[in-house]
Amino acid sequence: MKIVKLVIVLFFVSCVTKSSAQNFELGKVSTKELLEKFHAEDSTAVAAILFKKARTFFSYNSTSGFTVNHEYIYRIKIYKKEGLSWANFEVPYYVGYEEMKDESVKFSNCVTYNLENGNIVKTKLNNEGTFKKNVNEYWNEASITMPNVKVGSVIEFKYILKSEAIVKFPKFKMQYDIPVNYAEYETEIPEYFIYKPILTGYVKIKAEAKYVNGSQSFENKYNQSASISYKQINSVYLAENIPALKEEEYIDNIENYRSSIYNELERTRFPDQPVKDYSITWEGVAKTIFENESFGKELNERMYLIQDIKMILKSAVSEEEKLDIIFKFVKSKMNWDGEYGFYTQKGVKKAYADKTGNVAEINFILIAMLKFAGINANPVLISTIEHGVPAFPNRTVFNYVIAAAEIEGKQILLDATHKYTTQNILPLNTLNWTGRLIKSDGTSQEVNMVPNLVSNKNYNLMVKIDDRGTVSGKFRAQKKDYEAYSFREKNAQINKENYLEKLENDLDGIQISNYEIENKDTDFSKPVLETFTFTSDNHCERIGNKMFINPMLFFALTKNPFLQEKRKMPIYFGYPKQDKYNINIEIPEGYAVESIPKAMKIATEDKIVLFTINTQVEGNRIQIIITREINAAILPADYYYDLKEFFQKIIDKQNEKIVLKKL
């Protein structure tokens, strides 16, 4: 084979020389590592990855051409009982290819090390500790359970994943929920393949690349030994002292922020062949998806709907009325089977007859009905929060589909799979960055999935305090938009008795009576309205001839949700929200107001975060109006300090009591 030398330009985050002082090999476990009682940088760590190394390299044979090998080695230290789960390790591998062989995984060099009477004792894994199982039609899983693992053990293992799939390498994780002392990833890529390395997360990764000679030996079709020589790009990525990635309050999907590397094929350039471009555009993704029979063909099926459409729209006139009727009809008729995806499984006609379908089937039925009624409607591909952010063009970044209707230039997003959704109010796990609206002509456009509509909770309390300090009154709460949707989803399956018991506990032990609720299971476009009467002996403290009352009663915040000194990840609230409290308190006869919290306003410069409290005394009545607003669904980490300070000031303000003095 004639080899053509190619000029290749590589882009990296940073390019530095790899540390030559590091030399990690299996079988070199030290007494020092076994004696270590806790991690030097994180004493709370239950385990630590002492090192993780991986190497991706290519093989060649005359039948399959180039295939790829991913070789991994790990050394892990167990510090605490909770870290014993690291003795179990799983590797998924793909078996759903149509034109390629299944991937394979093979473990080796699996050893547990313990210190016994001052001696290092090795226990090797036998075949009884290796397992393989089928996950679904596309995936299998290989796993190991390391032997004789206890607190203090060090374990090592190696595995190799072989694959004919060269378009995208498996993601190399550099960060876990335990510390990683050292991580190194090396790729050896023949000059025929141009990959784009994609780095995610906040860990500083060092990188080095060099152009070297490469070669492959193989048997040709005549069973003769042959070889090819070429140039290849050897790249090394490394990081040290990587902190554990820990869950924090107000985060969407922590996997979006895990430091990792993966390589995606951009183009191939073989000798005497034209360059083949693998770079994918959103238009290419849209066209590929639409041309699939389980998408475009199913989306265009409509004849099975004629009778029902004529029946339900016989008196409808405007497009708004038609949309409302169709949306409610599909939600009422169809039942979601819990399956995600943007392709149909059994088809829309069968799903309609069965009254049950997956996400695609139900929302395709909705789109078809809307189009039948003359309303412009198209599918929107999205990635749910748990699936990750659709950052780069690729059909695998999506796992869900909804409907977008357009009336008088306004876009209305709809999802008929969930019973409590309304127009532009979608399941919370679909509110994830951006979606992709695709049309039958192959064009597409980005759709913002992050809500900018502020959802409100309004509370009105008429409270009376008697001379014994008992608090009683009437409570009225109104929840709108996403707050109403969240309430319905959370409490749909809870009976009234259990809900009231939980509500009493959540509201600091009050006793509730005369409870009523409106619009919980009826008109979902209207706010949820709760009313009840209550009594409490927990919210007024008597000391001598004085009473001390928290101005927010049972709504008071008791803990700042932001406790870390610093934060690198964005702060996710799901949707903009406003909580407003109007509290009117009648004080007991024979008492006067000695002091009351002063009015205060806290806000960031851009008014994204806002807290106000206004108080007023008129005779024996106190009025307190409190507003708390977060006017964004997601905030960058730069806001973390302001948010931390904001919530602390709220808590401090709540600690300023209303003081009543006996006359």
**Are 292 and 343 spatial neighbours (Cβ–Cβ below 8 Å)?**
yes
Torsion-angle region of residue 61: left (phi > 0), alpha (psi -120 to 50) or beta?
A: beta
| pLDDT the model gives residue 18 | 42
Question: Does 516 map to a domain?
Answer: yes
| pLDDT the model gives residue 449 | 96
Whether residues 490 and 616 share a domain: the answer is yes
- What is the rounded distance in angstroms from the CA atom of residue 190 to the CA atom of residue 171? 20
Whether residues 478 and 348 share a domain: the answer is no
Q: Which of 431, 448, 465 is the last residue of a domain?
A: 448
**Are 661 and 591 spatial neighbours (Cβ–Cβ below 8 Å)?**
yes
| Signed CA dihedral, 16, 17, 19, 23: sign only | positive
- Specify which residues 336 forms β-bridges with: 357
Question: Does 373 map to a domain?
Answer: yes
Query: Higher pLDDT residue, 27 or 390?
Result: 27
Q: Which of 240, 260, 277 is the last residue of a domain?
A: 277
Angle among Cα 270, 274, 276 to the nearest 5 degrees reads 80
Question: Does 239 map to a domain?
Answer: yes
Residue 173's nearest CA partner among 143, 152, 151, 203 is 203
- What is the rounded distance in angstroms from the CA atom of residue 626 to the CA atom of residue 578? 10
How far is Cα of residue 345 from the mean position of the Cα atoms in its chain? 25
Which amino acid makes up residue 255? Answer: E
Q: What is the average per-residue pLDDT within 438-446?
A: 90
The CATH number of the domain holding residue 291 is 3.10.620.30
Report whether pLDDT(16) > 60. Answer: no
Q: What is the average per-residue pLDDT within 586-603?
A: 94
Whether residues 87 and 136 share a domain: the answer is yes
Whether residues 160 and 190 share a domain: the answer is yes
Question: Does 27 map to a domain?
Answer: no
Residue 120's nearest CA partner among 182, 47, 50, 28 is 28
| pLDDT the model gives residue 373 | 96
User: What DSSP letter does each residue of 487-542 carry, written as one string?
Assistant: HHHHHTT--HHHHHHHHHHHTTS-EEEEEEEESSSS-TTSPEEEEEEEEESSSEEE
Q: What is the average per-residue pLDDT within 26-36?
A: 95
- What is the rounded distance in angstroms from the CA atom of residue 119 to the CA atom of residue 131? 31
| pLDDT the model gives residue 492 | 83
* Model confidence pLDDT, tens digit, residues 34-89: 999 999 999 999 999 999 999 999 999 888 889 999 999 999 999 999 999 999 99
Residue with tokens 């209207």: 526
The CATH number of the domain holding residue 591 is 2.60.120.1130
- What is the rounded distance in angstroms from the CA atom of residue 323 to the CA atom of residue 412? 10
Report whether pLDDT(435) > 60. Answer: yes
What is the pTM for the complete model shown?
Answer: 0.85
* Model confidence pLDDT, tens digit, residues 294-329: 999 999 999 999 999 999 999 899 999 999 999 999
Number of domains in the chain: 3
By the 10 Å C-beta count (0-12 exposed, 13-18 middle, 19+ buried), 246 is classed as exposed
| pLDDT the model gives residue 282 | 87
Question: Does 19 map to a domain?
Answer: no
Whether residues 641 and 538 share a domain: the answer is yes
**Are 191 and 216 spatial neighbours (Cβ–Cβ below 8 Å)?**
no
Report whether pLDDT(212) > 70. Answer: yes
180-190 β-sheet, strand order: 119-124, 104-116, 154-163, 65-78, 47-61, 180-190, 225-242, 206-219
Residue 95's nearest CA partner among 157, 17, 163, 30 is 163
The CATH number of the domain holding residue 162 is 2.60.40.3140
| pLDDT the model gives residue 13 | 39
Whether residues 558 and 618 share a domain: the answer is yes
Report whether pLDDT(357) > 70. Answer: yes
Question: Does 77 map to a domain?
Answer: yes
Which SS3 state, helix, strand or coil, does residue 142 take? strand
Which SS3 state, helix, strand or coil, does residue 583 take? strand
Sequence-ordered list of residues with C-beta below 8 angstroms from that of 106, at least 6 positions apart, any chain: 142, 159, 160, 162
- What is the rounded distance in angstroms from the CA atom of residue 238 to the CA atom of residue 199? 12
Whether residues 532 and 599 share a domain: the answer is yes
Label the pairing between strands 540-543 and 528-536: unpaired
Whether residues 264 and 289 share a domain: the answer is no
Tell me which residue range forms the domain holding 463. 455-662
Report whether pLDDT(560) > 60. Answer: yes
**Are 611 and 602 spatial neighbours (Cβ–Cβ below 8 Å)?**
yes
User: What DSSP letter does each residue of 264-307 carry, written as one string?
Assistant: EEEEE--TTS--EE----HHHHHHHHHHSIIIIIHHT--GGGHH
By the 10 Å C-beta count (0-12 exposed, 13-18 middle, 19+ buried), 53 is classed as buried
Report whether pLDDT(19) > 50. Answer: no
pLDDT band at 170 (very low <50, low <70, confident <90, very high): very high
In the chain, the percentage of residues whose pLDDT exceeds 90 is 77
Name the least confident of 76-80, 201-205, 283-287, 470-474.
Answer: 283-287
Whether residues 77 and 159 share a domain: the answer is yes
User: What DSSP letter does each residue of 548-561 carry, written as one string?
Assistant: EE-TTGGG---S-S
Report whether pLDDT(179) > 60. Answer: yes
Which SS3 state, helix, strand or coil, does residue 218 take? strand
Q: What is the average per-residue pLDDT within 644-662?
A: 90
Q: Which of 425, 448, 471 is the last residue of a domain?
A: 448
Q: What single DSSP character describes residue 314?
A: T
Residue 162's nearest CA partner among 90, 107, 88 is 107
**Are 549 and 624 spatial neighbours (Cβ–Cβ below 8 Å)?**
no
pLDDT band at 23 (very low <50, low <70, confident <90, very high): low
Name the least confident of 320-334, 383-397, 488-502.
Answer: 383-397
Residue with tokens 């608090």: 471
Whether residues 268 and 289 share a domain: the answer is no
Report whether pLDDT(247) > 90. Answer: no
Report whether pLDDT(434) > 60. Answer: yes
In the chain, the percentage of residues whose pLDDT exceeds 70 is 97
Q: What single DSSP character describes residue 427?
A: -
Whether residues 386 and 499 share a domain: the answer is no
Which SS3 state, helix, strand or coil, does residue 484 take? helix
Q: 30 to each of 112, 114, 122, 197, 571, how far by Cα in Å?
A: 13, 10, 12, 35, 42
Whether residues 297 and 429 share a domain: the answer is yes
